[in-house]
Structure 1
């Protein structure tokens, strides 16, 4: 296996200092992006009704009394034995979310699947987040996650009984929400995906091939473990 070059400590520290300067510049840019996000305008949402574990629930009540709400729209294929591996893997990393209460916020999953099927799937893969169904509501389509469509993440702000949409992202935009890729990116060989810019001889494999799929998540975190 190809290895990084071996150098003396002084050379290594010099290289680290140069990299650190770029890392800190990236951190400052992320701070600036977050500042711009806090200055985004918002759009008023209709009064949607979703379905949760206890039955129908208004979108404003999904906040559970808090003023801010993060929603991950989980892809759903009604004919599939296993749902989207990417969505299942991403959301499996969120196991301790009570800290959001200190920020007056909540984080939930919304899917196009019927609530009974969605809750059964969540249990099967060991997902402990609150799940809601938008199967009988246009909510998913209105926030860029229609039936047979992709995944997405939306953020909402509540003012009394009025809900506003403040932010949305999809694709690789959701990477910032999970530690999985951040941990892989600090490894010497990185994610080992063929699209990445890596030195000659570094291990690389097809994109997604190292990701955990839904059966892997169920095996690792499901109720049978």
Structure 2
């Protein structure tokens, strides 16, 4: 950030006494408590959604070999799947998904000891996932659904025909057909929008990049039967993106005009 922008940003903030700060903080606290109560209610409503039996025999490639959806539970009765954007044609995983996944290892062990398995699923071949996982230093389970329908059925992947001819269903909304976007679109112009920057950083054109979408899905295993219980996408993932929970409490908040984040091993390289 330039000094001029810094000064402009600082000028927008009120300077006050400790007493004025405390009065404003107490007023904000009441709204924060209400938000917490609303969040608790949202959690109860998620858990109250009807369970939908999963009858299709989804298969995955994992570090332990070919696996079923039930196998991904790893002995627990609950499974949380992060739909990680890493398509078969990607050269590397999505940087945005990577920034979210950076937090997984820290709490996956706690979830695993509370009857919940956290895993990622992507359509890239397992060898690509394993190499990228090693590069990032991650240990959470990551399965490939390359030859199956899992990502397509849970609205995290789309065919080129869907994207260009019929449109796609994402985040419970219909998106119209999308024309092909050249690989170089936005690159020379320095476009900092996440779709363009993420596409560049995954080694794809924007159209190919956007045939994968981020999301998470929850499943339960009861009496040998797998049930789908919940899915969320797009801004519904904000609460899982630990970086933003901290930024929302920083003095200048998210303070962003474009895509500023990188994979954690790429800072300082640009």
TM superposition score category, shorter chain reference = 0.7 to 0.9
State yes or no: 1:160 paired with 2:223. Answer: yes
- Where does residue 189 of structure 1 map in the other structure? 252
- RMSD (Å), alpha carbons: 1.5
Task: Provide the secondary structure at the position in 2 that maps to 1:71.
Answer: strand
Which deviations, in whole Å up to 9, do the C-alpha atoms of 1:37-93 show, x marking residues without a partner? 111001111231111012101110110110000000111233333321111111012
State yes or no: 1:218 paired with 2:257. Answer: no
State yes or no: 1:58 paired with 2:68. Answer: yes
Counterpart Cα distance in 2 of 1:218 and 1:160: 43
Tell me if the contact between 2:59 and 2:148 (Cα under 8 Å) persists in the aligned partners: yes
Between 39-48 and 63-72, the greater mean CA deviation after superposition: 39-48
- Where does residue 118 of structure 2 map in the other structure? 107
Tell me if the contact between 1:92 and 1:126 (Cα under 8 Å) persists in the aligned partners: no
Tell me if the contact between 2:120 and 2:143 (Cα under 8 Å) persists in the aligned partners: yes
Counterpart Cα distance in 1 of 2:92 and 2:212: 16
Report the CA distance between 1:137 and its aligned residue. Answer: 1.2
Counterpart Cα distance in 1 of 2:213 and 2:243: 21
Give the TM-score of the pair, scaled to structure 1. 0.85
Report the CA distance between 1:139 and its aligned residue. Answer: 1.1
Structure 1 outlier segments of 4+, above 4 Å:
none
Q: How many residues align?
A: 204
Between 77-86 and 98-107, the greater mean CA deviation after superposition: 77-86
Tell me if the contact between 2:58 and 2:150 (Cα under 8 Å) persists in the aligned partners: yes
- Where does residue 50 of structure 2 map in the other structure? 41
- Where does residue 92 of structure 1 map in the other structure? 102
- Where does residue 199 of structure 1 map in the other structure? none
- Where does residue 177 of structure 1 map in the other structure? 240
